[in-house]
Each structure stands twice: as structure tokens, then as C-alpha cells.
Amino acid sequence: MNGRLVTAAPLAHWRWGAGDTAVVMLHGVGGGRDAWSDATGGTGAAVAAAGFLAVAPDLPGYGDSPPIDPYDMAGLAAAVGALVEHLGARRAVLVGHSMGGMVAQELVARRPGLVHGLVLSGTSPAFGRPGGDWQQRFLAERLAPLDAGQGMAALAPGLARGMAGADADPARVERCAALMARVPEATYRAALHAIVGFDRRADLARIAVPTLVIAGEHDRNAAPAVMERMAQAIPGAEYACLPGVGHLANMEAPAAFHAVLLAFLRRRFAP
């Protein structure tokens, strides 16, 4: 099922299918709307085939969506909230990978009535201690190649390989790297600074919508132990860990990811 590109909206997005429940899929720092398209794992088409409206936006500064200033979590959440309102669906479920999962948490904390379900994949409720040494090392390591003039095209292959599980299909990893290489350098830099200040740990207990937390067994960016603790802090949340999978779950192992995601959606938001 081919997606339809929509640009006349608060955020440019791929759209598949129809239904009274919009499943809005939010990509990570190195992604874009194609993180959910047939070009990678086909999540949008799979969700639509299950009877839902599937929507995969470019977050601000990615693809065909204009940047925001300041580039921070509040602004990212506001942009996604505007898209959800624009869609006008009776229910909205946010599926967030990595940074997208942080944006989803930010939106549900700020506007809980707008969100009816959450799927958090390869993400966390905080990015270390604000202003901590670990955060500064993370930024320095990620930005050093860019500061040296390498550019996103040179940076992307190594990052993609490091995020994927050891047994990931090389062709799938290459597609992830190609997606990452298309991210504007200015957006990548701004997004990294946005996520290192993220901390919604205190809000987990207030999440009052059906929630699924999906970890990858070999995810070094969002460790399964961290994600399991996050799930335990969210009332009634479900937790699943995909064996042999790294950080790029829906793109590395789409069949396994879709099985867990669609079972949750059908169980909690039957069309």
C-alpha cells in the first residue's frame, strides 16, 4: 500500500489508509518520514492494512517540514500537537522511536487530552542528568565528525551500524544510513541539543492512556533495563523486548516489530 505525501499540513507527512484512529509515527534524530515507509520497514502500510489511519510526519527541520526556533522539546511537541488536531481523528495514538518517543512523552505531559495511546520504542524518559558529564561526552562524540567537516553522508554509515544489532541485515542497515545521510546538518545538531535536556521521569506516573514500551535486546542507546523500568513506572503499561534487535527496531526487524505493535493496537484500539 503506497503512502500519500501531504504537505498542506502543520507537518509534511506520509499518509496511509483511513479510520477513526490516527496512528502518528514519530522518527528519531537520524530519521525522517521514510523511517516508517516502504523504503525501510513498511510500518505505515502495515498499520493501515490493520484498519487504522497511519501518519508519518517529518518533524520540524526534516524533509519538507520547516524548522522551528527555538528548536526544543516544547516546540517539537507543539508541532506534533498541531498535526494531531489537523488530522481530526476521534483518537490519536503516538508511536515514537528514540527522539520521537521523547516528543510523544512531552506532548502527553503538556496536552494529555489530545493523546489516547502511546507506543514508545527505543527511547527513555530522560537523557542523563541535566548538564552532566555523560551528556557532554555524548554531544562531543556525535558532533566531532561534523565539526571536522565530514558531513552527514560520511557520519551516517558508522552511526547506523553502531545502532543496529550485530545480526541485522546489512541491506536494511544501509537503508537506515541513507535516511540518516539526508538529515540536514543544522537540524541534526539542533535535535541533539534538544534531546540532551529532556527529562520527563516525574511525569511517567501521570500517563493515563494505554501504553506499550518496546525495547531491543541489543539496544545500546536505550537499554532494555532502562525501558523496562520506564514501563513499570507507567500505570498499566505493557513491555516487550525484541530478541536480537538493536536501536532501529522497526527498520531492522519489521516483522517482529509489527507483530507486537499491531497486537497492541488491535487489542486496545480496535477499528
Rounded mean pLDDT of 175-190? 96
Q: Cell 565528525 appears where?
A: 145
Give the confidence band of 142 by pLDDT, cuts at 50, 70, 90: confident
Supply the pTM of this predicted model: 0.96
90 backbone dihedrals φ, ψ, rounded to 5°: -65, -35
Per the listing, cell 541489543 goes with 218
Which strand (E) or helix (H) includes residue 56? strand 53-57
Percentage with pLDDT > 90 across the chain:
88
On the question of a cis peptide bond just before residue 57, with omega within 30 degrees of 0, the verdict is no
- 4-268 CATH choice from 2.60.40.10, 3.90.1150.10, 3.30.300.30, 3.40.50.1820: 3.40.50.1820
Per-residue pLDDT at 174 exceeds 70: yes
Q: Where along the chain do its domains lie?
A: 4-268
Peptide bond preceding 243: is omega within 30 degrees of 0, i.e. cis? no
Query: In the predicted model, what is the mean pLDDT of residues 156-169?
Result: 93
Distance CA 203, CA 219 (A): 24
Distance CA 162, CA 230 (A): 24
As a whole number, mean pLDDT of residues 150-169 equals: 93
Q: What is the pLDDT of residues 39-82, one digit of tens each?
A: 899 999 999 999 999 999 999 999 999 999 999 999 999 999 99
